[in-house]
Amino acid sequence: MRFFDIIRFAVRNFFRRKARSLLTILGVVIGTMSVVIMLSISEALDVGTVKQIEQWGSLTEISVYSSWGDDFAPKLTDDLVARINAMENVVAVMPIRSMFIRLTKGRMETWAQLISVDTSALPHFGQELEMGRFMEQDGSYEVVMGYELPFNFNNPGRWEYNPAYDYDWENQTYTVNPLPFDPIEATNIRLMPNVYTEPGEPRPRQFRIQTVGVLQWQMNNWQFNSGILMDSAAFDKLEKELNKAQGGGSGSGGGMGVSVMYSSGPVRASVSSGMSSSQSRDQEQDKYENLTVKVNDMNNVMDVQNELQEWGLQAWSNMDSLERTREQFAFIQMILGGIGLVAFLVAALGIANTMIMSTYERTREIGVMKVMGCKLGNILSMFLCESAIIGLFGGALGVGLSLAASYVLNTFVDASFFGLSSFGGAQYDLSIIPIWLIGASLVFSTAVGVLSGLYPSVRAMRLSALEAIKNE
């Protein structure tokens, strides 16, 4: 008997008892839908959780700090930066230092955090420009402003709130406002130490800076949104100039000094201390406040983070929160998958029952086929093929109805029902059916059909030909 003959006989027998076949298929449809919908909800929960945590920051970045009180832990130095850069799966390292300064623009002024960055590493950390370019690495006082900083300039004594963005609470979306002025075209922006002066007192020495770019506004990127970036070489040069202007290196009294932040706490380079900030850093042994490490893939973040922690460093990433949330969801996912598998088990019993009844009803037919010389393997294949058709057909219908149910869930059910807030305009689906799930469902339903029909098929193959012919 040819393969196509086996298929033809299986299809004919499938339609011989239409009502029973349809009821059996209905069981497979329900089982398939249960598995697909439950797993799609589980998939949506995972994707939604990733989106929510990404609103707090990148999932491929690790924040590294020095370990306080551990004299044997590595210090945040250039040597450590080079060592981390050489690690597997590390794309780039951003060493961070900062100081608080005052900016003036004519009569207006504001306070800001001046951040020392490695300009060459900035593009790896998703920092994109709204306008202009990044700083040159030549020690010149070029800066890139965060998008919110131009909004913070005010006349002294007449502070006004100028928001950089508006938030639509109804639609939960942000709208970024146009810049109040073009920082690149503004040539009257000056920088000076963040020291308080009484009205009428002379201001400290001011340094001319050149704004060459403005960063795009990014939600939850508060440090860069309202800060001002300078290349590390220029930052070192400016820091020395500021301390010199305040008398920090002279050892004579008078000035308040420049406040420079490091991981071990604020280090104030003041005249009275007779110590420059670079000397303070040597004493603390930490050159940088912290390091931000960029990893090539979120699946490799925890490996890199664990290795950094083994070195004795404090390392943290948003993957910590994601892993904890996934652990909490694991039990829910197990329950959802279990419900689907129970439904599939019921469908498998229905297929087995249908095929067993089919062998009883066709006992005489099986006997005639054996007497006429039909091979035992052909009889086995015919019954297995019939049960596979039930599984495949039911699985296909189940997947189709699951796609429809998924559309209804995503269109008409609020995501907050499952605790997924659409804060920041992010949209969440309650059901996500990936391609692999569709393929796996069809293969699984067909396999369940074949396995369910295995016993009835073997029973049909082992029937005695003479006893089968005598059967009425």
pLDDT in tens, 150-202: 999 988 777 788 888 887 777 667 888 999 999 999 888 888 876 666 666 67
- Tell me if residue 144 falls in helix, strand or coil: strand
Could you tell me if 191 and 114 are in contact, meaning their C-beta atoms sit under 8 angstroms apart?
A: yes
The gap from C-alpha 334 to its chain's centroid, in whole angstroms, comes to: 22
- Helical segments of 285-317, H only: 301-310
- Spatial separation of the C-alpha atoms in residues 236 and 242, rounded to whole Å: 10
- Joined together, the tokens standing for residue 171 give 């639609």
143, pLDDT greater than 90: yes
Q: Which helix (H) or strand (E) holds 262?
A: strand 258-262
> Residues 311-320: pLDDT tens digits?
888 898 888 8
Could you tell me if 442 and 395 are in contact, meaning their C-beta atoms sit under 8 angstroms apart?
A: yes
Q: What is the largest CA-CA distance in the chain?
A: 120
Q: Given this model, what pLDDT does residue 327 score? A: 76
Q: Given this model, what pLDDT does residue 396 score? A: 92
264, pLDDT greater than 90: no
Q: Given this model, what pLDDT does residue 4 score? A: 61
Torsion angle (degrees, nearest 10) of CA 347, 451, 444, 26: -20
Higher local confidence (pLDDT), 444 or 250: 444
Q: Given this model, what pLDDT does residue 90 score? A: 92
- Spatial separation of the C-alpha atoms in residues 36 and 263, rounded to whole Å: 50
Tell me which of 64-68, 299-303, 398-402, 405-409 is least confident: 64-68
Q: What is the mean pLDDT of residues 229-235?
A: 90
When the pLDDT of each residue in the chain is averaged and rounded to a whole number, the result is 77
Could you tell me if 25 and 393 are in contact, meaning their C-beta atoms sit under 8 angstroms apart?
A: yes
Q: Given this model, what pLDDT does residue 6 score? A: 62
Length of the chain: 472
pLDDT bin (cut points 50, 70, 90) of residue 341 is confident
Q: Given this model, what pLDDT does residue 166 score? A: 86
- Spatial separation of the C-alpha atoms in residues 271 and 244, rounded to whole Å: 10
Q: What is the mean pLDDT of residues 43-47?
A: 81
266, pLDDT greater than 60: no
